[in-house]
Every structure is written in C-alpha cells, then in structure tokens.
Amino acid sequence: MHRIRKEMDIVRLDDIVGMRFPAGRHTKVLIGPGSKEAERFVVGYVTIYPGGKVPVHSHGNEEVYTILEGSGTMQIGKEKRVVTAISSVYIPADVSHSLMNQSEQELAMMFVYSPAGWVDHWTQETEKGPDDQQNSM
C-alpha cells in the first residue's frame, strides 16, 4: 500500500533527539521508524566520537555509508580501508561491517539502508530497543 502525501515532509536534524550507543556514537533516524516513514528504506545521521565506532555487525539490508566530516576505518568482510569526507561505501546485505573513528575529531556520516525497519544490532548494543531509546532521550 502506497501513501499519497499531500504536503512536503521536512525533517530537521536538530529536531531529532536520537539514540546514544555505548560504543561511542549518537544516531538520529531522519526517515524511518519513529520518524517520517518511507516504505522501502531508512536514512539516518550518525556522529561517531573520537575512539567510537559502529561495531562489527551484519544484517539482511543493503546499506550505504556516506562520510560527511572526519575520517575513519571502514571494514567490510575482511577488507579494511580508510574513508574520508566526502566518500560513500556500499555494503552488501549479510556482509559483516564496521566503522571506527580513530581520529581526535568527530566523524559525521549518513546511512541509507533497505528494506525499511530496525536493524538488529541496535537492540543488541543496548539494553533498550530503538523505540525506547528514541523516546527516552
């Protein structure tokens, strides 16, 4: 079932509280569960603090990370490479991946994945699920 929108939906990053993760990052879902929902994808913004990371995980979603500011080490499968602003990395479904900020500056990135829905590693990293995190921040 497709939703027909009669108005333009605008989401402002500053209006989203988001979720803090113990691995040293803050994630804000711009389009997806708990926000303006698209039917087939999720878009988010992540700040990875110095020394922080997106831990190694995999999921059945295809995904793209776009580094906006800073730099980090991206691992997909067994391959590791440095990623810098402004670069994008495609991550195939069911392939393990991680991103680590080893610099002294924050790393800012956006992600897009499909299909829509929460990815399991968010719940695995916290005692609360994403819905509880979004609402309690």
pLDDT class of 129 with cuts at 50, 70, 90: very low
Band of the pLDDT at 135, cuts 50, 70, 90? very low
Neighbours of 19 (CB within 10 A): 26
Q: Are 64 and 112 in contact (CB under 8 A)?
A: yes
Q: Please give the share of the chain, as a percent, with pLDDT higher than 70.
A: 80
Least confident of 13-22, 35-44, 56-65, 103-112: 35-44
Taking the mean position of all CA atoms in its chain, how far away is CA 64?
A: 9
As a CATH number, domain 13-117 is 2.60.120.10
For the chain, give the mean pLDDT: 85
Cα angle 50-134-95, degrees, rounded to a multiple of 5 = 60
Residue extents of the structural domains in the chain: 13-117
Q: What is the pLDDT of residue 36?
A: 73
Please name the residue that has the structure tokens 């497709």. 2
Q: Which of 56, 67, 59 lies closest to 97, judged by CA?
A: 56
| pLDDT (tens digit per residue) in 60-77 | 999 999 999 999 999 999
- Residue whose C-alpha is closest to residue 26's, from 61, 1, 60, 50: 50
pLDDT > 90: percent of the chain: 68
Describe the strand order of the beta sheet including 53-57 as a list of residue ranges: 53-57, 97-100, 71-76, 79-84
